[in-house]
Structure formats: structure tokens, C-alpha cells
Amino acid sequence: MTPKHTSKYIFIIMGLLILFMVYLQFSIDESTENLKKEEIKKSEQYAEKIAKYIKAEADGSLLPYLEKHTEERETLNKILHTFLTEQFQYIFLLHKDQKGHYRFLLDGSLEDPVEYNTIFFPKSKRFNSVYSTQEPQIIKQNEGVEQIWLSLLYPIVEQGQTQALLVIDLSQSHAEHLSSFNSPVMQLVRWMQLFLVISFFFLLYISYSFYKLRKSILVDPVTSTYTKVYLQEFFDTREVNQYNAMLIDIDELRRVNTKYGHKSGDTVLKIFAKEVSILLPKKSYLVRGKGSEFFVIVAKESANLEELAKKVFKRLTQKHYLIDNETISLTLSMSAIVTPTETDSLFDVQRSLDEKLFEIKSRGKNGLGIIGNVSGDELKYKNLDYIKEALDEERLVCLYQPIVNTKTKEIVKYEALVRLIDKGDPGKLISPYYFLDIIKGTTQYIKMSRLVLQEVFTALDKHPNINISVNLDLDDLYNAEMMSVIVKKLSRYKGIADRLTFEILENKEIKDYEEVAVIFQQLKTFGSKIAMDDFGSGYASYAYLIKLDIDILKIDGTLTQELLHSPERTKMMLTSINDLAEKFQYEVVAEFVSSKEIYDMVSQLGIEYSQGYYLGEPKPLDP
Amino acid sequence: MRKIFILLILLYGHLYALERESTLKMYHQIFSALVAKPMINVYTDDKEYRKVFATSKRMLLSAEPEKSDIILITNKSALFKIMREKQWAVKEDKKPIFFVTDYRLLKNSFDIVGAFYWRKGRSQLLFIKNRLKAYNITLPSEYEDFLVDEL
């Protein structure tokens, strides 16, 4: 669960709790109301009984009876008084006179008794309504009435005529008493509601603070563009390959800062960022990197990247900035990449852009470089961290390509070719094209060589009848650490070192032949052979044949391939090399023999050994 | 804490003022029906009522009963005292008018034209027709329901 979701769930829980509290309050209110209804029902029953009793006493002539019998009136008053409890505030009997005024017939109050026939002004017109309809009613008292919660009006009817109204006033204190039954629970609920409401607002406050904090993290304070943190979050929920990217760096911002001050530098950055934002299409995001660097992501469907990059570069380099009454313009170094469909790593995209930007800066800045048709594998594997991880985890394997006797096609040797294994797909092997140049000169290269040698020696140990050659860079021979690794391995596997050939790849001119000769001698001491790889191309020169003690010449594959395009001239060239090697008593191997046509020509030329896809693909020794 | 204390005092003061205002408003409405004057002179010897009337802008608290338009009586001893000292009699100009806050007081003097009192938890307003007539007072129609011929 992400923090974002956590806060959402907390809000939902809080909301549900508040709803529950409201429901609880509603339930308690309902329960109190039911209690009150019960009390009212009981009161109605009381009123009915009292009315019946009075009617029975009066024996069908209530008004004359009460007028004439003072003592009986007093007795009835006392009887009414007995009903006065905490529940009933007042009980009295009213009669409406001919002029429509109500007058007291009976009053149950002893403390403040009202005399017979005293006038009374009820505060409700419902008294008249009950008088005329002869239907009992309950009225809620309002303004001008004190201490009374409800009044029960019960008509006393004789021979179809309303003679009087029995009024029973239920006390306000009794209503409060009824409410108090649930008051402890209600109190608790109210405290909980208060707590929840306070918590809710506190949560809102925290959320707001969090929002402000997040904004300060996600938005650059100087340019109001996004920060790299935003970029990371952005791609947490989106596919990297749906966006193309650009990296823009202002070449000489430091010069602006130095000359005009950092405040002016910030102003330039602000204007610059605004200008970039204007130039970008919809679904584009501008992110400020370190210093004067800006990273742009653009949804693929929004714009053609190449056109956009060129437009942005042109407009930004043409823009002028007014600082301290001086107009300046800026140069930019900019790289852009059409993100390959199979890429899912933002880091790979950024690294490619960085590399391209570095290349532009190395060429003298102020330029635009667009990375067009780059494969996803290229972005993924051309990554030092990825390679380092693979080597740390020893995700490395050697494939062995056979070198055969040209005449008999009998395998005489295998060339070990290194491959890394893909992290997610163990069946996918990564060609050295992706990683060799990146790790050269680093400790990772030594690590890789050690692993390769280990595997090769293990293979030689396991298969006593085979020979294997491994590639070594000329630079490796100059590297003391590398040589130490090789010599240690050769010392450890003395018995089988004579079945090992070192193929020396030369990519620069040898300046000190004596030093190289000593190293070759050191390797040959263990019985190993030295092959000169890619002979006939690049720096490989005939001088090697004179000055170095080598055993095998491997003719460069590009020369062999030329047999298809310029057969006559190539044949002459290869015949010359072969004759020379024969005289020096070197073995000769033709590389890149990829078709029968080439094989036939190589065979015809009498080159002793051949290697290539036609004769055997690189594959594991143990299938 | 101090702010809360001040707030409570203000709240209490406000509630007290509301009650006082409603009392004044009610009495001004009743007295206006009896006396057609923009500023009505009222006399009462009840301390609580004096405090309330002292704050009125439309009723003037009178120090002498004979110079007032209305005398408000709240108890029997006050009524007797005024009657005894001044020997009031209903004359042509019929001033001042007596008004009471107790139903029973109505029976003690024919000079009392009406009362405002509480009965069975209900406020009661009552005017006696004949006595009003003696003062030549005609009440507005909205007081029709509160007019009685006799007690």
C-alpha cells in the first residue's frame, strides 16, 4: 500500500466512522422519541380515565353539577391533584362561555389554585379545534408558554355537545428526564463525534501540509518546473516507452552567474523555462535537472520528436535575454531520443541522453543530437550498472565456435566467445557488442576476463581432447592486474595450458615490440599459443610477423567476405598472406566463412583452417 | 483563557440584554395600545422593573406616579400604598392608567384597566372593557381577543 493510498483509506475510514456516529445519534434520538411516544400514550389513557370519572360524577350534567356543588368541586380538584406528578405539570378543566372565553371549572393545583370560573386565555387555537371537532389532540407549546412540554386536550362531551376540555400539561422537566435516559450514551457519542470531527480536520490539515511539502519537493522553486522526484513518480504509473525525451543544457549559465550574479542567472533560468514550456505541445512535461539542465518528456502522439527538437533548439538559441540593460543570448547543448517501444527504464533513456549530450559538449557544445533508431536492448544493455550486476551475479557464459581443418572439416579448435545472460530472460544472451566497449578499462573488464578464463580452463579440464582459443586485447597485455590473473590461471592449470590459444586483438599500433614480445614469451612458457586476430585490417601489420613470435594468423573476416565482391583481387591478397604464413610456419585461419561459396574459395586457396557460421555457429560445448 | 472568559461574559451579557429587550418590547407594545404618545411616562416602584424600564428609549421612567401616563403595579401592597397616598380617582383626563402584573390585583381596584400575568405556564394578557371605557381608551383591533366584559 503506497502512502498515497494509505491516506485515502484513512479518509474513507474516518468518513465511515463519522457516518456511523451520525447513525448512532439518529438511533438514540429515535429511541428517545419512542420513549416519549410511550409516555404520551400513557398520558392519553390517564386523560381518558379522568374524563370518564368526571363525567360519571357529574352524571350527564357537568356544568350545572359543578356550578351548584362547591364541595364536590373541591373533591374533584383534590382528585385531579393526585395525578399531579413530575410527569404532569398542570391538570385542569376548562369551559368555553357564551362569549367564547375559556373559564376554569376545575384545577388540580393546590399551590396556585385558580378559582372557579376564572378567565383563561389559552395560547393555542387548537383548543377551539378540539372543542368543535371533539377529537382529543396533543399540542406542542411554543412562545409565551413556560415549563410545559406538551398539552393533552381531551373533550368532555355530553349528548353530542362539548361541555368542557380536560387539559393535561406534560412538564418540560419530564421531557428532559426522558431524554436523560439516553444522555450518557448520547454524551459519549457527542464526544466521539467531536473527536472525529477534530481528527478529520486535523487530518485535513496534515493532508494540506503534506500537499504543500510535496509541492515543494515536486516543483522547482526557481523555474516552477517539475523536479526529478516528480519524474520518478510520473513514470510509476506510466509507460516510459509512450514518451519521447529531450535533454537541454544551457552551455554557459555559469558565465551569466559569474558576470551578472546568481539572481540574474535565476531570472534567465525562469525565462528560459517559460519559453521552453510555450514551445512544448500538450502532454509534455518540463523537468529541471541539476544546474542548468532541463529534461523534457513528450507524449509520442503529441509531436514528431525530430521536428520538435529542431524547433526548440532553434527558438531557444535565437532568444535574447535582457540582463542589467544588456542583451545576451545563450547557446545550448541538446539531445533527444525516440524512445524504443521495448524500453521500460527511464534510467536507460536518461543515460542515453546524457551520453549524447556529453558527446555534443565534447565536440564544442552548442549543438543538437537526435538518437533515432536505437533498440531497446541497446538502451538496456549499454549500461555499466546492468553489466556490473550481471558480472556480480556471474550471469556469464561462453559459446564455442568451431575452427575446422578446411580440407577435412574436422574440428581442431574452438574459439570461446563471451556472452552475458539477460536478467529477466535466462534464455536470452547478450552480445559483447553491447557491453565490451563500456567496460573496457574498468575493473569490470578484469572481472569478466577472470570469469571467462575460469570457464575456459574448466572446459579444457572437462574435455581433454579439445583446444580452445580466447580473445585478449592488446591493452590487456599491458595491464598488470590482467596479466596477473592470466598467469595465475596458467600456473594453476599447467597441464592443460598447452591446449589454450590467446587470440590477440590489436586496436592500436604497438610501440614497444620488445615489451609485447616478452609478454608473449611469458604466455608461451606455459605451452599456450599466440594467434594474431583480424590480420589484414586496421593496425595489424607485417611488422608483427617480423618482430613477434606468433603461432597463428587469423585473417580478418572483412577480407574473407570480400571474396564475394572482389574475388580475384581478394584471392590474390589471401594467397599472398597464406604463402607468407607458410614461409613463417604459421598456421592460417580464415574467419567469417559464412557460406559454401566462401568456403569453396578458401578451400581452393589452400588456407589450412576455417571458421564461420557455415562451418559451425557458436554454441555451448555441452548441449 | 482570558479570551474565553471575556467571550463568556459577553455571551451572558448578550442573553441578559435579549431578555430585557423582549420584556421592554412587550410592555411598550401593550402601553402603546393604551397611550398614544411617542414617549410614554411609566411609573413603578418595583426595583426589577425600574431597572428594565430605565434602559428603554421609548418609555420614560417616571419618578412621580401622578406625572406618569401609566402606573405598573406588581403587588398588592404597592397598589394600596399608591391608592392611599394619592387618593386616585378616575377623572376626565383619566391619567394615569393603572396596569398590573397579577390577575388578583384586578379585583382590588376599578381603576386598573388590564393585566399581564402568568397562569398555568402561559402568559395571559387581559383588558377590561368597562374600565377602558372609563379612561376613554379604544384598543386596536388586534387586542380584541383579550378584551373581557367582566372578570
Question: Are A169 and B145 a contacting pair at CB < 8 A?
Answer: no
Total of domains in chain A: 3
Last residue of one domain, picked from the residues A381, A403, A435: A381
Percent of chain A with pLDDT over 70: 98
* Residue A121 domain-assigned (yes or no): yes
**Strand ordering across the sheet containing A243-250:** A284-288, A293-299, A243-250, A332-337, A367-371
Could you tell me if B119 lies within 8 Å of chain A, comparing CB atoms? yes
Question: Are A121 and B145 a contacting pair at CB < 8 A?
Answer: yes
Could you tell me if B148 lies within 8 Å of chain A, comparing CB atoms? yes
- Written as one string, the DSSP assignment of A117-176 is T-EE--S-THHHHHHHH---EEEE--TTB-SEEEEEEEEEEETTEEEEEEEEEEEHHHHH
Is there a single domain that holds both residue A360 and residue A401? Answer: no
Residue numbers of chain B with a pLDDT score lower than 50: 10, 90
* Residue A616 domain-assigned (yes or no): no
Is there a single domain that holds both residue A35 and residue A128? Answer: yes
pLDDT of residue A269: 93
Question: Are A121 and B121 a contacting pair at CB < 8 A?
Answer: no
For residue A91, pLDDT over 90 is answered with yes
For residue A605, pLDDT over 50 is answered with yes
* Residue A193 domain-assigned (yes or no): no
Is there a single domain that holds both residue A331 and residue A428? Answer: no
Which chain A residue lies closest to B126 (C-alpha atoms)?
A: A121
Nearest to A211 by CA among A1, A3, A12, A14: A3
For residue A501, pLDDT over 50 is answered with yes
More confident residue, A128 or A376: A128
Number of other CB atoms surrounding residue B87 within 10 Å = 7
Is there a single domain that holds both residue A489 and residue A439? Answer: yes
* Residue A292 domain-assigned (yes or no): yes
* Residue A206 domain-assigned (yes or no): no
Is there a single domain that holds both residue A365 and residue A436? Answer: no
Of A99, A118, A147, the CB nearest to B121: A147
d(CA A195, CA B57): 47
CA dihedral A228, A233, A236, A242 (to 10 degrees): -60
Is there a single domain that holds both residue A420 and residue A482? Answer: yes
* Annotated domain spans of chain B: 21-148
Nearest to A314 by CA among A300, A303, A299, A330: A330
Q: Is the peptide bond before B96 cis (omega within 30 degrees of 0)?
A: yes
Residue from B22, B122, B125 whose CB has the most chain A CBs within 10 Å, to mutate: B122
Query: pLDDT for A534-582, tens place per residue?
Result: 887 765 567 788 888 899 999 999 999 999 999 999 999 999 999 989 9
Question: Are A169 and B123 a contacting pair at CB < 8 A?
Answer: no
Is there a single domain that holds both residue A336 and residue A433? Answer: no
Which chain A residue lies closest to B150 (C-alpha atoms)?
A: A119
* Residue A221 domain-assigned (yes or no): no
Question: Residues A356-362: what's their mean pLDDT?
Answer: 90
d(CA B99, CA B113): 6
CATH code of the domain containing A29: 3.30.450.20
Is there a single domain that holds both residue A294 and residue A348? Answer: yes
HSE-CB at A550 with a 13 A cutoff on CA atoms is 28
Nearest to B28 by CA among B51, B6, B60: B60
Question: Are A123 and B119 a contacting pair at CB < 8 A?
Answer: no
**What separation in angstroms does the CA of B6 have from each of A19, B14, B19?**
35, 12, 20
Beta strands in chain B (DSSP E): 40-43, 59-61, 70-73, 97-100, 112-119, 122-128, 147-148
Question: Are A145 and B126 a contacting pair at CB < 8 A?
Answer: no
Question: A–B: how many Cβ contacts below 8 A?
Answer: 43
Please give, rounded to a whole number of angstroms, the shortest distance from the CA of B55 to a CA of chain A: 23
pLDDT of residue A476: 82
Is there a single domain that holds both residue A544 and residue A424? Answer: yes
pLDDT of residue B90: 47
CATH code at B21-148: 3.40.50
* Residues of chain A found within 8 Å of residue B121, distances taken between Cβ atoms: 89-90, 141, 145-148, 169
Please give, rounded to a whole number of angstroms, the shortest distance from the CA of A143 to a CA of chain B: 9
* Residues of chain B found within 8 Å of residue A122, distances taken between Cβ atoms: 122
Question: Are A119 and B148 a contacting pair at CB < 8 A?
Answer: yes
Interface of A with B (CB under 8 A): 89-90, 92, 99, 101, 109, 114, 118-123, 141, 144-148, 167, 169
Question: Are A120 and B124 a contacting pair at CB < 8 A?
Answer: yes
Asked if A542 contacts A550 with a C-beta cutoff of 8 angstroms, the reply is: no
* Residues of chain B found within 8 Å of residue A147, distances taken between Cβ atoms: 121
CA dihedral A191, A192, A193, A196 (to 10 degrees): 120
CATH code of the domain containing A567: 3.20.20.450
**How does DSSP classify residue B102?**
-
Asked if A605 contacts A571 with a C-beta cutoff of 8 angstroms, the reply is: yes
CATH code of the domain containing A300: 3.30.70.270
d(CA B126, CA B105): 12
Residue with cell 577435412: A408
Calculate helix-pair angle for A480-492, A443-462, nearest 10 degrees: 20
Is there a single domain that holds both residue A484 and residue A360? Answer: no
Question: Are B120 and A114 a contacting pair at CB < 8 A?
Answer: yes
Nearest to B134 by CA among B118, B113, B105: B113
Q: What is the mean pLDDT of chain A?
A: 89
* Residue A43 domain-assigned (yes or no): yes
Calculate helix-pair angle for A262-279, A305-318, nearest 10 degrees: 140
d(CA B19, CA A488): 107
Asked if B68 contacts B40 with a C-beta cutoff of 8 angstroms, the reply is: no
Is there a single domain that holds both residue A402 and residue A373? Answer: no
* Residue A216 domain-assigned (yes or no): no
pLDDT of residue A325: 84
Query: pLDDT for A240-277, tens place per residue?
Result: 999 999 999 999 888 889 988 999 999 999 999 999 99
Please give, rounded to a whole number of angstroms, the shortest distance from the CA of B124 to a CA of chain A: 6
Nearest to A552 by CA among A534, A568, A564, A566: A534
Of A101, A119, A123, the CB nearest to B122: A123
Number of other CB atoms surrounding residue A381 within 10 Å = 21
d(CA A265, CA A260): 7
Give ipTM to 2 decimals: 0.83
**Which residues 6+ apart lie within 8 Å of A63 measured at CB?**
A95, A105, A163, A164
Could you tell me if B144 lies within 8 Å of chain A, comparing CB atoms? no
Please give, rounded to a whole number of angstroms, the shortest distance from the CA of B69 to a CA of chain A: 26
Is there a single domain that holds both residue A287 and residue A415? Answer: no
Beta strands A326-329 and A529-535: pairing type? Answer: unpaired
Give residue A60's domain range. 3-180
Lowest average pLDDT, out of A311-315, A368-372, A537-541, goes to A537-541
Please give, rounded to a whole number of angstroms, the shortest distance from the CA of B125 to a CA of chain A: 8
Question: Are B126 and A121 a contacting pair at CB < 8 A?
Answer: yes
Beta strands A396-405 and A161-171: pairing type? Answer: unpaired
Question: Residues A470-480: what's their mean pLDDT?
Answer: 85
- Written as one string, the DSSP assignment of A536-574 is TSTT--HHHHHHS--SEEEE-HHHHHHHHHSHHHHHHHH
pLDDT of residue B151: 79
Please give, rounded to a whole number of angstroms, the shortest distance from the CA of B63 to a CA of chain A: 31
